[in-house]
Amino acid sequence: MRATPPRCVLTIAGSDSGGGAGVQADARTIHALGGFAGMAITAITAQNTRGVTAWRPVAPALIAQQIEAVMSDLPVAAIKTGLLPGAAAVRTIARTLARFPRLPLVVDPVMGATRGTRFLDTRGVQALARGLLPRATLVTPNWPEAEALADRRLRSLAEAEAAAVGLMEKFGCAVLLKGGHAPRENVVRDCLVTTDGRVRWLTSRRIVTRNTHGTGCVLSAAIATRLAHGDEMESAVETARAFLQSSLRENRRTPWGGAGPAFSGW
């Protein structure tokens, strides 16, 4: 018996048929960290560890109806967004979430798949910047996504840090710029800028697996779950990074690799 019920977390994200990313990775992560996952599916992808073979967006009105169904019933304590399939979907989601201004919102600004498929075009990125990021508690761009949001190339850690600070000032939310896509070295350097202006570099050893798609999904879902439990931003990010690293290490033993927690008991 638990003394307290699990905290509900709503993930607004795409479905990955291979289970590596999207709502499938989010749900495993949320459950592993003591949460309960509600899910609003934004797109359906046909994919496996080798890549995306087809995908279709879910109509914005149906995305909004899923969000409303969850929010009108479950006691949601934090929200995360992942794959958003275009400007219209972003605008509808921003409008729907405006009714819940106090809930922590983690935005993973997914623009494409690790292996190339593009999900969000330039208009979608603009809609994200106008509608959703000003409402976010935290945005978690990888290096290329930060370049798109800041509208400039990032060629050094100093430029990355300046861009992360600039995004925090522009949108008024915390920024976690993830270094997994940054110039290759055997450490991963993430830059966290909180809304008090504090900058912290978080480093960890790079963990190589056969297939690391879904790392961003796991990280943002883990942060949202920790925020749902009442953690401060810095501590939520540290716990989520440690969780992702242990999941990656664990998944080196599966034949297919992968980012999220494999399954309980593995």
Q: Which residues are catalytic?
A: 178, 212, 214-217
Least distance CB 179 / ligand PXL (angstroms): 16
Q: Which stretch binds ligand PXL (CB under 6 A): 45-53, 125-133, 152-160, 237-245?
A: 45-53
Task: Provide the 3-class DSSP secondary structure of residue 10.
Answer: strand
Per CB under 6 A, the list member of 19, 22, 57, 109 interacting with ligand PXL is 22
**Nearest CB to ligand PXL, comparing residues 75 and 116:** 116
Nearest-CA neighbor of 174 among 222, 233, 102, 109?
Answer: 233
* Maximum CA extent, the chain: 52
Q: Pick out residues in 68-107 that bind ligand PXL (CB under 6 A).
A: 82-83
Closest CA to 123 of 83, 97, 90: 90
Q: Dihedral, CA atoms, 38, 98, 161, 238, nearest 10 degrees? A: -30
**Whose Cβ is closer to ligand PXL: residue 15's or residue 29's?**
15
Rounded CA separation 130/125 (Å): 9
Phi, psi of 20 (to 5 degrees): -85, -30
CB burial string 106-118: b at 16+ within 10 A, e below: bbbbbbebbeeee
Of 70 and 120, which has the nearer Cβ to ligand PXL?
Answer: 120
7-16 sheet: strands from edge to edge: 51-57, 35-48, 7-16, 76-81, 105-107, 138-139, 174-177, 187-193, 199-205
* Cβ at position 246, least distance to ligand PXL in Å: 19
Please report whether residue 14 would count as binding ligand PXL according to CB under 6 A. yes
Kindly tell me which residue out of 7, 28, 189, 213 binds ligand PXL, with binding defined by CB under 6 A.
213
List 12, 13, 89, 127, residue binding ligand PXL (CB under 6 A):
13
One of 21, 160, 163, 219 touching ligand PXL (CB under 6 A) = 21
Q: Which residue stretch of 139-147, 166-174, 202-210, 213-221 sits at the interface with ligand PXL (rule: CB under 6 A)?
A: 213-221
Please pick, from the candidates 19, 124, 131, 216, the single residue that binds ligand PXL as defined by CB under 6 A.
216
Of 133 and 194, nearer to ligand PXL (C-beta) is 133
Measured between alpha carbons, how far is 216 from 260 in angstroms, rounded to an integer? Answer: 10
Shortest gap between Cβ of 149 and ligand PXL (angstroms)?
Answer: 16
CB closer to ligand PXL out of 44 and 199: 44
Is 255 exposed, middle or buried, given 0-12, 13-18 or 19+ CB atoms closer than 10 A?
exposed
* Contact of 213 with 200, CB cutoff 8 Å: no
CB of 54 to ligand PXL, least distance (A): 11
Token reading at 173: 């939310």
Contact positions vs ligand PXL (CB under 6 A):
13-16, 21-22, 45, 47, 52, 82-83, 110, 113, 213-214, 216-217
